[in-house]
A = this chain, B = another copy of it.
């Protein structure tokens, strides 16, 4: 089995910019990708990365396409006769067991929802009878495409796989549940704050700013 992981090389994870600097976002994105590709490899899956510009990654073949995500992935499906997985690069909680459980399913399409209507992993056994349509409520679109093509579907039920780290509010899942390098890095640069009802991941500096007294700063 092989998996393709789309990865944005520049201005990565821009929606985390409310909390993290560009350097931190870049480092976190690479560590998440490392956690995911290592986990795929441990489960015996060959990893390919799909990027829009040249990039090197230890242990993976890099496929460069200047096309948008959907046409680039659909080109990839057209060129493949064998089953493939499409795995998002921002699901660092995914485990080797998750991948093995998906591989054990006999369904033509094994699809794992992301939050908010998204699709985080698809195992496509019949790439000749399927195409992808990411963005928006892609889970609904993917289910419909599979049904229209007469494919059997298994919805894979996993908190780990459904937890995509996209916005600052998502970091709490990685902070609390993560076991890999991305989680360790996140815990080294942020702290948990449960002072305002919902628990959040914050920068220590933000807390300090909140209690600083302006008049004292120049004194």
Which residues of A come within 8 Å of B, CB atoms? 95, 98, 112-113, 115-117, 136-137, 139-140, 155, 157-162, 169, 172-173, 176-177, 192, 194, 198-199
Q: List 26 A-B contacts (CB under 8 A).
A: A95-B157, A98-B157, A112-B159, A113-B159, A113-B176, A115-B173, A116-B169, A116-B172, A116-B173, A116-B198, A116-B199, A117-B172, A117-B176, A117-B192, A136-B194, A136-B199, A137-B194, A137-B199, A139-B177, A140-B176, A155-B177, A157-B158, A157-B160, A158-B159, A159-B161, A162-B162
CB distance from A116 to the nearest CB of B (A): 5
The interface centre, meaning the residue of A95, A115, A159, A176 with most chain B CB atoms within 10 A of its CB, is A159
CB distance from A154 to the nearest CB of B (A): 12
User: Within 8 Å CB of A113, what residues of B?
Assistant: 159, 176-177
Q: How far, in angstroms, from A100 to B133 measured CA to CA in the complex? A: 34
Q: How far, in angstroms, from A64 to B116 measured CA to CA in the complex? A: 36
Q: How far, in angstroms, from A136 to B139 measured CA to CA in the complex? A: 30
CB distance from A10 to the nearest CB of B (A): 20
Q: Knowing A115-B173, A176-B117, A177-B113 are in contact, say whether A192-B159 is a contact too (CB < 8 A).
A: no
CB distance from A114 to the nearest CB of B (A): 9
With beta carbons under 8 angstroms apart, the residue of B95, B137, B162, B194 that contacts A159 is B162
User: Within 8 Å CB of A176, what residues of B?
Assistant: 113, 117, 137, 139-140
CB distance from A198 to the nearest CB of B (A): 6
Q: How far, in angstroms, from A69 to B21 measured CA to CA in the complex? A: 40
**6 more CB-based (< 8 A) A-B contacts, given A116-B172, A139-B176, A159-B162:** A112-B159, A115-B173, A117-B176, A157-B159, A159-B161, A162-B162
Q: How far, in angstroms, from A207 to B169 measured CA to CA in the complex? A: 27
User: Within 8 Å CB of A169, what residues of B?
Assistant: 116
CB distance from A111 to the nearest CB of B (A): 11
Q: Name the residue of chain B whose CB is nearest to the CB of A175.
A: B117
